[in-house]
Chain A
Amino acid sequence: MLVQKINHRLIKQALTIRTVEEKFLSLFSEGKLNGTVHTCVGQEFSALAFAGQLKKKDFVFSNHRCHGHYIAFTGDTRGLIAELMGKASGTCGGIGSSQHLCNNNFFSNGIQGGIVPVAAGYALGNKLKKNGAIGVVYIGDGTLGEGTLYETMNIISKWQIPLLIVCENNFYAQSTPQSVNLAGDIRARAAAFGITTFQGHTSNPEQLLHDAKVAIEYVREQTKPCFFLVETFRLNPHSKGDDDRDPEEINNYRARDFLHIFSKDFTAYYDNYLAAIHKEVDDMVNSILPEPEQAMDAYYQPPVSDHNNNWRPLIGINKRQVELLNNFFKQQIVDNGRMLFLGEDILSPYGGAFKVAKDLSVLAPDKVFSTPISESAITGISNGLALNGFKPFVEIMFGDFVTLAFDQIVNHASKFHHIFNKKVTCPVVIRTPMGGKRGYGPTHSQTLDKFLVGIDNIKTVAINTFFDPAIVYDSILQEEHPVIVIENKTDYGKKILHHQAANFVYEINDAPFPVVKIKPVVSVPSLTILAYGGMADIVNNILSDIFFETDLKPELIVPSLISELPVDIIIQSAATTKRLLVIEEGSAFAGIGAELIAQVTEQMDIKIRIKRISAYAVPIPSVKTLEHIVLPEKERIIQEIKAYF
């Protein structure tokens, strides 16, 4: 017999969630729904207790099992149904579907754990805005296996970020029972970070709703994080037909399910409500069915590549690159209200491993965040800050460590804009130094840019020593999408355009991410070279040697935007020289040279000689002599040009 005192409005909401999800399953079996559906049947009161009790200004980040959270927070049943039915009127135009929803501060993503730091960043943004808004992030118990969760728990506790983590413990992760993959105690995990914890069960909605409210108030009033463990049970398969659990176990839980008991105890009410909801949902589905899908060209337009051909002379600056970078950030951190700076070891007086952040924390202590060693979490937090309207610059101490942030770059930053059907932008900026010749060895020297330029919808920029990096960073300030900036360790200490090879002209175009062109003053060049970042500086220093030793007159083209190469400028040059050489500091296979050459070959109708010079495909050795052999250097470059062209 039911002894709970629950508002019937809530019961109707829970029934709506259940009805909608069950409708999804039947639509799916009718072939009217595409892809995947993870239902939360049996878990509805967790959605209502947290997402349902937040204020409008608050936010929710959710995971693959997000329909209930969505309806509880937004009330937008129609948008959800249309979304899963792949219609243009869906909440994300049918692009994101079941696991990727976005509407009024509601966001979900299908990567386990990845949304936790993003939610933390969003919450940090609210704290900085002092708008009194807080947020909830939902995870499943299986997600307790993800490391980024613990990176984030450490940070939200340390920085007192008002975020409520709700762990929905349904004792299974996909097909795996908890006994197989979880060690230790769940609440103790959060408690170990000094985070206050709560616990509840969906079979006792009255208590759960009450305690959830207490937790929400705690987070809001204390401006502190909180961890709420909700025990629950999913009555349906993980997704559609994938259930190997013991039917006995499921039946036991079904017997304890609140809506089930309610249907038994208050059958008249239940049937009444259900009929109305069914009708409402069926009507919606019927009205949505004939609706059009989103047109492809509304989703994607092929880029027009038209490079800027206005060239002007370059002028040297008697300042080191790192000084100019530091000056840029010092000015922006004070003047630019949106800018934030995050990174490891960036507090004064240390100012970051390469001193780009020198004095920033003195100038703007509230906007500079020296972080734990948590590349994934700090990149995710930056993503969340960016979604919340900030312009975060996150520094990854060494380029090699960018791999630890890869999920945040690939599955979050790069995708948010598109999967949420352009409702949001994520103007995060990730800066990191790459390159060898410092003897730092295998894990601190690699040039990994080829992994980055392959990420769609992220700009990857490599600054160089030919012009003030502030030009690039000013353009980045205007960007509304993610940008990764590759700096170079050996370039930091160099002055801008310090060496100008005799008899060459140095020009820059006025693209937002400029291309530099270095060519003989009068002669028609006979060898087109493409190099960027630190390698461009090395090549610039040997231009005369290349001429004297190879008898070829080089023209060096230095792009700064390397995820979108200035192919037309290169073709223009290569059409005259009939020789194209790409010199890169990373290894050649599937690298930037490979990409450039593919594009040039596709577009050029004459045959030219083409070559790549790159690092050998081994980790960069520490020992100097070997390091200088592995990375392209003057002798090897000249020798290979001589041998090939």
Chain B
Amino acid sequence: MAILQQIKVPLISINDTSLTVVDILFAHGALVKMGDILLVFETSKTTYDVLAEIDGYIEYRCNRETDYEVNELVANIYSDENEVPEKVVIKYEANKVFSKNHPSSDETMPIWHGQTFFSPAAIQLMELKGIGSAAFIGKDFVSLEDVMQLGKITKDQEVQASKQIASLPVDMEKVIVEKLSSNKKREIAYLSSVQSAGLTSTINTSVNTDGIFVHINQSLKHLKNSLLPVFIYESARLLQKYQPLNAYFTGDAIACYKEVNVGFAIDIDKGLKVLKIANTSTKGMKEIEQEIIELSNKYLDDSLHFNDLADIGFTVTDLSAEGVAFFTPLINMMNSAILGISSIDEKLHRCMISLSFDHRVTEGKLAARFLKELKERVESYQSKYYPLLNQEIGCFKCFKLLQEDLSDTGFVKCITPKGEEAYICQSCLKGF
């Protein structure tokens, strides 16, 4: 029961600080014999075969055609098959900077749909002035100077904002005044942005959680018995359909986010923060869990990047660990809705979920439909549905998976032209 051999990137020549894996000769987890070639590196001069020094089960921590630094761990051999961890997918980071019709000189300003980077000085001023990242849509980099430029235009807005936090009289004899921390001030500004208009409502429903973790825990590694990942996962999928809940009120218009970036609220001694799971609708439950953990760690180490906090369109706040029966979550700045998860009532096998939404952007009916669908999707993880869901049911025509389907009507069992049993989705059955 041990790691028998660790394979690190060797220093083959002083000229190569990184080597490329050009070939991987076994499947992840396969049994390898001493002397087998496990993988092949390429240097600037030659190729280099890595041999197994012992029999065992191989864990690959590398991908083909990818470069690894000297001394990086690229594979392990384990004594026991079950010890081999699942394959870590290391994504190759390549930035697509160019669109096809890239402008070739300075004259025309390209239109930028990519992410925006904020310098720490810019962030500081933005926070101070309550300027949201949306003000810089279409920008590549935002420096202090950029924020100051914008500040000039929005001077009036700033005056208004400061008026909103009008101060009340204090009698020092009767009260002890503790100055608000800048964190708290920021939080107030953040929340009052939507709430201060007074046009929000909250609707609630309960989710039957009986046997729900049997299935969910299969997909989770660390956050066992937590509903947060599944709510984020399912909300993200639904938000593609419920656009107004992934939007915000600009003052005279409604801005809808193009991407689904669900945030989750966290508050462990370091102030309330909402952390972003970027492109949530494209991620699986495992990835979401992984990101929740990574982001929380960054939050705790104070190593969050501004991008971890920016451009969140919808928030989930999970108070299930706090023993609450139900609560009214407050909508964050530049959001139109927030989902609250209360604690599971172990006797009744249920959990309350609450959705607060901004009437200026959407209305009760749509919010209610969203909440109902969300409830049903999450309940479908209950063990009675489990065998079915676990089969990866897909439409035989368009290969869409049941999980991916947004029609809320399910798939139809059918016989294919070849006479085989299969499933077909509603779109393929009825036509678009």
Contacts and interface: CB of A to CB of B under 8 A. Distances in A.
Contacts of B428: none
A385 to B, nearest CB: 28
B110 A521 contact: yes
B97 A521 contact: yes
A500 B105 contact: no
Contacts of A354: 15
Interface string A317-341: 0101111000000000000000000
Contact of A492 (B18, B44, B143): B44
B117 A503 contact: yes
Interface in A541-566: 544, 547-548, 551-553
Given A489-B15, A495-B67, A323 B44 contact: yes
Contact of A547 (B17, B94, B119): B119
A225 interface: no
B256 interface: no
Contacts of B18: 493
Nearest to B65: A318
A176 interface: no
B143 A551 contact: yes
A447 interface: no
Contact of B44 (A320, A502, A526): A320
Interface string A438-457: 11000000000000000000
A522 B143 CA distance: 13
Contact of A502 (B45, B67, B117): B117
B104 interface: yes
Contact of A438 (B14, B110, B114, B139): B14
A373 B120 CA distance: 55
A523 B140 CA distance: 6
Contacts of A526: 143, 145
Contacts of A313: 98, 102, 104
Contact of B97 (A351, A355, A504, A551): A504
B76 to A, nearest CB: 26
B357 to A, nearest CB: 34
A311 B102 CA distance: 11
B218 interface: no
Contacts of B145: 526, 551
Contacts of B141: 503, 520, 523, 547, 553
A506 interface: yes
A274 interface: no
B143 A503 contact: no
B12 to A, nearest CB: 10
Interface size class of B (residues with CB under 8 A): 35 or more
B117 A544 contact: yes
B110 A522 contact: yes
Contact of B105 (A309, A320, A506, A551): A309
Nearest to A315: B98
A318 B146 CA distance: 37
Contacts of B196: none
Given A312-B104, A358-B45, A492-B15, A505 B97 contact: yes
Interface in A295-327: 309-313, 318, 320-323
A284 interface: no
A552 B114 contact: no
Contact of B95 (A310, A501, A507): A501
Residue of B15, B45, B104, B145 contacting most chain A CB atoms (<10 Å):
B15
A423 B293 CA distance: 74
Given A500-B94, A526-B145, A548 B117 contact: yes
B119 A493 contact: no
Interface string B2-44: 0000000000001111100000000000000000000000011
Nearest 8 interchain pairs by C-beta = A503-B140, A493-B16, A521-B140, A493-B44, A551-B119, A322-B44, A320-B44, A355-B45
29 contacts: A311-B104, A322-B44, A351-B45, A355-B45, A358-B45, A439-B14, A490-B15, A490-B17, A492-B15, A493-B16, A493-B17, A500-B94, A500-B95, A500-B97, A501-B95, A502-B114, A503-B116, A503-B140, A504-B140, A505-B110, A507-B104, A520-B140, A521-B140, A523-B141, A547-B117, A547-B143, A548-B120, A551-B144, A551-B145
Given A310-B104, A322-B15, A507-B104, 6 more contacts: A312-B104, A493-B17, A502-B95, A505-B98, A547-B141, A551-B143
